[in-house]
């Protein structure tokens, strides 16, 4: 039965006392009054209860006073021992100045199997915790506890429990409930402790590893110092390298700032790697290195002539550049680090004419370093301007890398295949090239990786392209255009004799005494084995021819010297691949021979016209572009409008007109086939065949006017290669004939025209011949 009586109460603000605990309590005036009242009472007991801010406590501990005395500092404290959990009732009166309350002791509860099981589980957790802390004396004391309630109340000493949790234990008289709470809280704490200990172990092992590495590095540095081998990549070394390097002032300041960051950063910081790589890149660039240009104008021209046949436009431009540089040097007008001291040229022409190899010859003629930058297929703007340093694996752009490879600030940089640059989601490299190739801006070119001004104004940029239409207009405007239109037959023979044959003979291990190739054989290869503006296929055939000759010499089938003439070509390289086909194609009315320019140079273009029964209309085939389709519509409109003047029966034009351009797998576009389409339609409608030796080019209007076109030189070269003798061009293109080689003009009769009707009259066979042909 519960025992109820009155005792003075001692409120403790920062301490929770559970039964079985012995604790010292500092005494103020109120606490001293409570201790005095307890000592004066019959039982000598007092109630220790937690002081709560939000409510009145409901439970406390009946405690006895073990001792009262002074503590260091001059104060007084009482040592009390908790004995029994009690429920706090109402206040009551009592002797002294203390506050008295009526309390009811909480009776002991029977020990059930559940309570024993909970006590055993909690005891196991407590012992595990104490073992981790190596508190062996406390372990012995806990092992001696048998009463579950006493075991639970020892949690009052637990440092991992909060005051709120201890107050909850005080206010939980049920032993099973107390043990359940303690098991949950202690398990959570052990789990947290294990994680914390693991983290602490990891940190400790990392710190030990760092300390070990630091100690080893210090020892290694000391050993290197004793051997006279100081570490080459330390921050001090970088500072010395930067200060001793011949750098521009702004570059030196930026480099020293980065060295300062390197000195302040730890070796384990990823930033140190970025800074070291950036400093190495900056220090490797030839900031103050420039080669001296050759002043021997005649010698430079001789080098260019020795390396390449023809290409006079490019050679003249390089010699002019050298001459101006020499005169400026003589008069002390050198431009150092300023604008306009370099040059930017684009060499445009079909493949195989020597654009790429010309760059190296130009560098030799100028006495400069040469570096080639391949731009074909580049689609990432960062390839030109570089990546930001913060990206993993960041590098400077190709322009900066080219300067580093050249080892000077005024090399010849060949930007190969600039028309093959593309753009996608990674940016537009052609736009990034605008600053590089602008002589007014490139003296302060800024690469994203370097983030420093780089002077490119003294660099000679040579770009190569096959199709200038593929170059953005803004970029093309910044470059000086030099067109290389291909070689004539005489040029190819001379190139083969002077350049290709010696090179291929050397590769086949043949000498001039062992194999000779006659000029007529070379001319036959140029005329009927290859039809290309350049000489790349020509050189392959020569290589095949010489390999065959070497094989015959080695096998004993032939003896030196082997002389190869025109009649021997079939044996060595097979039958001719090309034969004149204009006569065969134009043997029927409705077929006209036009001239076109492609990325592979000039070529002939046959246009066929036919009429079929059906509804009046126009059908176009041959993969024609929009401009070429409009040219066909204009041509048909002109023919219909002038049918009477051209002698055409209008009934023919009221049928379905079909215009086809063979080589249907090849896309075609452009306005220059207009006169050819008109001629083919008139030929079809009148039954008069087009002369087999005639080719033509020009844009036509609805009124029949012939408008100028481009690529005259390439088209006339193609006409000569294909055996044509008469070519009609727009009269406004007549000045372009100045660029055409004399041997081509001698082989062709070029007729400038104003009106398409005149072309029709001269290109079609006479009416009498057409009538005789139809009668036959």
> Which DSSP string corresponds to 138-173?
HHHHHHT---HHHHHHGGGG-TTS-HHHHHHHHT--
Q: What are phi and psi of 179, to 5 degrees?
A: -65, -35
Burial of 481 (0-12, 13-18, 19+ CB in 10 A): middle
d(CA 700, CA 636): 11
Closest C-alpha among 557, 467, 561, 441 to residue 505: 561
The answer to whether the CB of 348 falls within 8 A of the CB of 468 is yes
Answer yes or no: is 351 a known binding residue: yes
Answer yes or no: is 708 a known binding residue: no
Question: Which stretch of DSSP H or E encloses residue 595?
Answer: strand 591-598
Per annotation, catalytic residue among 6, 611, 672, 683? 672
Q: Strand, coil or helix: what is 69?
A: strand
d(CA 60, CA 43): 17
The answer to whether the CB of 375 falls within 8 A of the CB of 416 is yes
For 535, the token pair is: 């000489």
Query: Is 631 among the residues known to form the active site?
Result: no
For 17, the token pair is: 């006392």
Cis peptide before 561 (omega within 30 of 0): yes
Closest C-alpha among 733, 604, 710, 625 to residue 348: 710
Burial of 102 (0-12, 13-18, 19+ CB in 10 A): middle
Q: Strand, coil or helix: what is 549?
A: helix
| Distance set, CA 340 to CA 320, 456, 740 (Å) | 15, 10, 32
Q: Tokens 């003296």 appear where?
A: 443
Distance of CA 157 to the CA centre of its chain: 65
Per annotation, catalytic residue among 45, 315, 492, 715? 715
d(CA 416, CA 377): 11
Query: Which residues, including other chains, have CB under 8 Å from residue 276's CB and lie 6 or more apart?
Result: 233, 238, 262
Closest C-alpha among 374, 371, 398 to residue 464: 374
For 35, the token pair is: 């201790």
DSSP code at position 528: I
For 431, the token pair is: 């736009």
The answer to whether the CB of 595 falls within 8 A of the CB of 485 is no
Query: Is 715 among the residues known to form the active site?
Result: yes
Q: Tokens 């099973």 appear where?
A: 176
d(CA 688, CA 517): 45
Answer yes or no: is 349 a known binding residue: yes
| Distance set, CA 739 to CA 538, 640, 742 (Å) | 24, 37, 9
d(CA 510, CA 168): 106
Measured from the Cβ of residue 582, the count of other Cβ atoms closer than 10 Å reads 22
> Which DSSP string corresponds to 621-646?
ESSB-HHHHHHHHHHHHHHHHTHHHH
Do strands 100-105 and 4-12 pair parallel, antiparallel, or not at all (unpaired)? Answer: antiparallel
For 279, the token pair is: 């400093």
The answer to whether the CB of 201 falls within 8 A of the CB of 134 is no
The answer to whether the CB of 544 falls within 8 A of the CB of 589 is no
For 297, the token pair is: 């104008």
d(CA 553, CA 510): 10
Closest C-alpha among 81, 114, 93 to residue 8: 93
Answer yes or no: is 116 a known binding residue: no
For 278, the token pair is: 């950036």
d(CA 404, CA 571): 51
DSSP code at position 424: B
Q: Which residues are documented as binding site?
A: 349-356
* Binding-site annotation, residues for ATP: 349-356
Residues labelled as active-site residues = 672, 715
């Amino acid at each position: 039965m519960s025992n109820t009586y009155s005792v003075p109460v001692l409120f403790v603000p920062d301490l929770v006392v559970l039964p079985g605990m012995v604790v010292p309590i500092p005494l103020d005036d109120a606490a001293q009054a409570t201790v005095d009242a307890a000592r004066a009472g019959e039982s000598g007991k007092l109630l220790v209860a937690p002081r709560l801010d939000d409510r009145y406590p409901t439970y406390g501990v009946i405690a006895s006073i073990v001792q009262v005395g002074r503590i260091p500092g001059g104060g007084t404290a009482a040592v009390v021992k908790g004995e029994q959990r009690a429920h706090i009732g109402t206040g009551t009166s009592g002797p002294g100045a203390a506050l008295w309350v009526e309390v009811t002791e909480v009776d002991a509860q029977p020990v059930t199997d559940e309570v024993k099981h909970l006590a055993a589980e909690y005891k196991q957790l407590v012992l595990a915790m104490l073992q981790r802390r190596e508190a062996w004396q406390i372990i012995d004391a806990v092992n001696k506890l048998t009463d579950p309630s006493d075991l639970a109340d020892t949690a009052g000493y637990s440092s991992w429990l909060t005051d709120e949790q201890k107050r909850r234990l005080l206010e939980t008289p049920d032993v099973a409930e107390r043990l359940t709470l303690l098991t949950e809280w202690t398990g959570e704490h052990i789990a947290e402790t294990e994680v914390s200990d693991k983290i602490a172990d990891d940190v400790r092992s990392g710190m030990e590893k760092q300390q070990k590495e630091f100690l080893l590095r210090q020892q290694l540095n000391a050993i290197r110092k004793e051997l006279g081998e100081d570490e080459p990549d330390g921050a001090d070394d970088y500072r010395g390298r930067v200060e001793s390097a011949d750098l521009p002032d702004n570059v030196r300041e930026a480099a020293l700032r980065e060295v300062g960051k390197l000195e302040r950063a730890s070796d384990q910081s990823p930033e140190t790697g970025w800074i070291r790589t950036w400093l190495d890149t900056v220090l490797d660039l030839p900031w103050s290195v420039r080669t001296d240009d050759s002043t021997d104008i005649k010698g430079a021209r001789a080098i260019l002539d020795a390396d390449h046949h023809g290409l006079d436009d490019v050679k003249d431009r390089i010699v002019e550049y050298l001459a101006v540089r020499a005169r400026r040097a003589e008069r002390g007008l050198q431009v150092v680090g300023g604008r306009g001291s370099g040059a930017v040229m684009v060499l445009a022409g079909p493949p195989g004419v020597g654009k790429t190899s010309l760059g190296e010859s130009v560098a030799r003629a100028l006495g400069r370093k040469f570096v080639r930058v391949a731009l074909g297929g580049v689609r990432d703007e960062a390839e030109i301007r570089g990546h930001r340093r913060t990206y993993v694996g960041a590098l400077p752009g190709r322009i900066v890398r080219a300067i580093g490879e050249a080892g000077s600030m005024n090399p010849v940089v060949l930007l190969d295949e600039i028309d093959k640059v593309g753009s996608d989601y990674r940016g537009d490299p052609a736009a990034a090239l605008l600053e590089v190739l602008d002589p007014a801006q490139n003296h302060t070119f800024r690469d994203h990786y370097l983030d420093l001004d780089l002077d490119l104004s003294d660099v000679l940029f040579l770009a190569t392209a096959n199709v200038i239409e593929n170059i953005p207009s803004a970029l093309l405007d910044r470059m000086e255009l030099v067109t290389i239109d291909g070689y004539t037959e005489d040029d190819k023979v001379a190139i083969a004799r002077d350049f290709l044959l010696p090179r291929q003979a050397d590769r086949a291990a043949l000498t001039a005494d062992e194999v000779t190739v006659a000029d007529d054989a070379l001319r036959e290869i140029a005329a009927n084995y290859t039809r290309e503006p350049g000489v790349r296929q020509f050189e392959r055939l020569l290589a095949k021819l010489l390999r065959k000759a070497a094989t015959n010499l080695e096998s004993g089938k032939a003896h030196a010297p082997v002389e190869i003439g025109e009649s021997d070509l079939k044996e060595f390289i097979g039958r001719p691949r090309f034969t004149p086909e204009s006569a065969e194609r134009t043997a029927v009315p409705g077929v006209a021979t036009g001239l076109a320019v492609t990325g592979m140079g000039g070529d002939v273009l046959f246009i066929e016209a036919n009429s079929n029964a059906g509804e009046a209309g126009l059908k176009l085939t041959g993969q024609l572009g929009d401009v070429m389709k409009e040219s066909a519509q204009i041509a048909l409109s002109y023919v219909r409008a002038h049918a009477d003047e051209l002698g055409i029966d209008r009934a023919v034009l009221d049928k379905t007109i079909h215009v086809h351009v063979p080589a249907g797998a090849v896309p075609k576009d452009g306005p220059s086939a207009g006169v050819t389409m008109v001629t083919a339609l008139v030929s079809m409608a009148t039954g008069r065949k087009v002369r087999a030796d005639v080719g033509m080019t020009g844009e036509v209007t609805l009124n029949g006017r012939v408008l100028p076109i481009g690529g005259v030189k390439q088209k006339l070269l193609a006409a000569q290669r294909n055996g044509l003798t008469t070519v009609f061009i727009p009269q406004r293109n007549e000045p372009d004939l100045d660029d055409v080689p004399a041997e081509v003009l001698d082989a062709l009769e070029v007729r400038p025209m104003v009106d398409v009707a005149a072309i029709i009259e001269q290109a079609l066979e006479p009416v009498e011949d057409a009538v005789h042909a139809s009668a036959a």
